[in-house]
Chains A and B, each alone.
Chain A
Amino acid sequence: MVKLSRYFLVILAVVGFAIVLPKLYWMAFAKPIRAPYVMYSCIDNNFVILRSGNGVKRTNIKGEELTREEYEQKLPLLFVRQLLLNKTMPDSINGVEMDMHDITINRSTFRVRPKEVNAPQPTLFPLFESQSGRANLSMPPDFFRITWRMEFIDAATNKINEEKSRMFSAVLYKHGFKFPATTIEGIPTTRKSCDEGYFIIDSANQLFHIKMIKGEPYVHKIETPTGLTFKTIRCVDFKNKRYYAYLFSTNNEIYILTQYDYELIKFPIENLNPQIAEIKIYSDLFNFNVISITDGEMHVTALNRDYQKVDEFIEKWPVRSQRTEGKIAQFIFPAQISLTNKTSGFVRFFVTPPESFYWLFLSLLLAAVHFVLLKQKRVKITKHIIDFIIIAITGIFGFIAVNIFPNKFYD
């Protein structure tokens, strides 16, 4: 039992050091990796690139350096205010007259990060009144959840509003909703231009649009291609009111859902996975820039307003483990454990296994050092076999652990 308690302590120390030592190492030696800012220029009909780090460098796709003013003129719809101030804003671009109102309502920015998708999600939502006749939205007194039925719970009393719950549940049931809901996505804030309710996936993978109009339920079942399922739906509140949401499918495609006619339009882009990549979508009067950034790669696709691909840009860079400091880390640490991860909002024991066997050199060296230390103490080596195995497998972590909790049972 005492021996067991020692091995338990050694395991704990190995885990503790496997978390703390790599963390300290990376705090000391990590170097920032900055993805460039790449946008499609409607003037050049090609990409322009801004790199930051050791000073800001702006170039076109051929690598020719641009001055700040030249760069801004290549992206007139992004820097419209600056160009107006400089009096360099063109009257028309690609035959389209530049109208401030059109520029503004067609401009949108969207971003979703893996940390937001892989994260605990709320299961209780406020259902706003969509047509209250008031300019501003107000927070409803109750919140809803969808389990075996749609239930509204009054916040002041913590009691279920039976009448409202029955009314909404019945309408959902009539539309073929299969309880419970698996996903509920909307914009649960009063700080939006108007309310469009929620997009809800039921347990049969059917997609529904639900909102409340003058106290009554509004439910619309959205037709989706057979077999299409979604990883996440990100609702948007853009000025042009062309679509409700960006929808990311389980086979890594992206769709938009048009407003009022509920048409699902697929963007001609493959491998867009918001569970591992940060996705940014900038749209303007002429183009969509769909940007996907993973650990070691950036993929930018430019689409026109008819959602057709016009160009794409790919750049790769060495990930942390491929850089010098990463290779040294692979020599020192057999594995690394972290409780947090930039692709998840959950706390979990994320184990990064070694990408090479460099760590074995240090493990064997430390096992040899341990052997010498034991020899000096004139103890029986055969009684320490398990410690040697621990050091061989867990390297520096095990070496520190077995020496902090010394094996003195046989002295």
Chain B
Amino acid sequence: MLKSIIYKEWLKTRWFIIAFATLGTLVVGYIFLSVQHNFKFSDANSYWYTLLFMKLKYFGYLKFVPIAGALAISIAQFFPETVDKRIKLTFHLPLNENRVLLIMMLFGTLVLLASYLLFLSIFVAFSALYFPSNIIIPALITITPWFLAGFAAYYFVALIVLEPVWKYRFLYILVAATIVPLFFEQAATGSYATANPVLVIIVILSSISLLFSGFRFRKGEM
């Protein structure tokens, strides 16, 4: 049963996952193509200087990549369930309804985690070719909230898409609109160091949110 559910999630999302993994890898590739271009055309020491003291973010292109993928995968995964209320079929399976929803959520989370780890490992590996840890660690601190935003957005989209009443969908969007920008404050490299642990808690709090709209869906809230 479990395998079948996972296979169903895979069938819904596979092309989005493959497209996102490819796109994300290409963006990371582009970042380092641009870095090596800058190393060649302006001196390496000048480039380091602009990163350290002129607030240049060489990884800036990554900013909205994690959230874009999360939105795509979340919609691909949950929107088909709302068409003709197909998810009700899932709820008729001999499985605990919350457990099914949590498996779906866990599938999406693991897919996002795997994609993000892929991007991050390529990012760190290439960064280590050009920069010392004194540049890489602040860069990682800065991009962490962008990746956390991906998870938060995934959970909020699941919540919003599964909600059966349009009025509440709109209200959930308002709540999401107060939370998601917290991950994207304009700030100097490294300045999210103190906020990141709280953002992790926010992601954890939002992680089971689809159980709420799933419950309302099951109840036939109109």
Contact = CB atoms under 8 A, between A and B. Distances in A.
Instruction: Determine if chain A interacts with chain B.
Output: yes
Interface of A: 1-2, 4-6, 8-9, 11-13, 15-17, 19-20, 119-120, 122-126, 139-143, 145, 153, 155-156, 158, 188-189, 339-340, 345-349, 401, 404-405, 408-409
Interface residues of B, number: 52
B128 to A, nearest CB: 8
B129 interface: yes
A346 B193 CA distance: 8
30 contacts: A6-B212, A9-B209, A9-B212, A11-B205, A13-B178, A15-B202, A17-B178, A19-B178, A20-B178, A120-B193, A122-B52, A122-B53, A124-B48, A124-B52, A126-B45, A139-B45, A140-B45, A143-B48, A145-B134, A153-B132, A156-B45, A188-B52, A188-B53, A340-B185, A346-B191, A346-B192, A347-B187, A347-B195, A404-B174, A408-B221
A13 B188 contact: no
Interface of B: 39, 43-49, 52-53, 98, 128-132, 134-135, 138, 159, 168, 171-172, 174-175, 178-179, 182, 185, 187-195, 198, 202, 205-206, 208-212, 214-216, 219, 221
B179 A16 contact: yes
B195 A15 contact: no
A162 B44 CA distance: 19
Question: Secondary structure of the B side of the interface?
Answer: helix
A8 B182 contact: no
B181 to A, nearest CB: 9
A155 to B, nearest CB: 4
Contacts of A141: 44-45
The winner among A9, A123, A125, A140 for most chain B CB atoms within 10 A is A9
A5 B171 contact: no
Contacts of A139: 43, 45-46, 49
A13 B46 CA distance: 45
Nearest to B52: A122
Contacts of B185: 339-340, 347
Contacts of A119: 188, 191
Contacts of B45: 126, 139-143, 155-156
B49 A126 contact: yes
Contacts of B132: 124, 145, 153, 158
B175 A408 contact: no
Contacts of A19: 178, 182
Contact of A155 (B48, B138, B159, B194): B48
Contacts of A17: 178
Contacts of A120: 138, 188-191, 193
Nearest to B214: A2
Nearest to B219: A408
Contact of B191 (A20, A345, A405): A345
A123 B185 CA distance: 23
Given A15-B179, A349-B195, A1 B187 contact: no
B212 to A, nearest CB: 5
B22 to A, nearest CB: 28
A12 B206 contact: yes
Contacts of B182: 16, 19, 339
A120 B192 CA distance: 9
A212 to B, nearest CB: 15
Considering residues B98, B128, B134, which has the most beta carbons from chain A within 10 angstroms of its beta carbon? Answer: B134
B159 A9 contact: yes
Contact of A404 (B47, B175, B192, B209): B175
A16 B212 contact: no
A8 B135 CA distance: 36
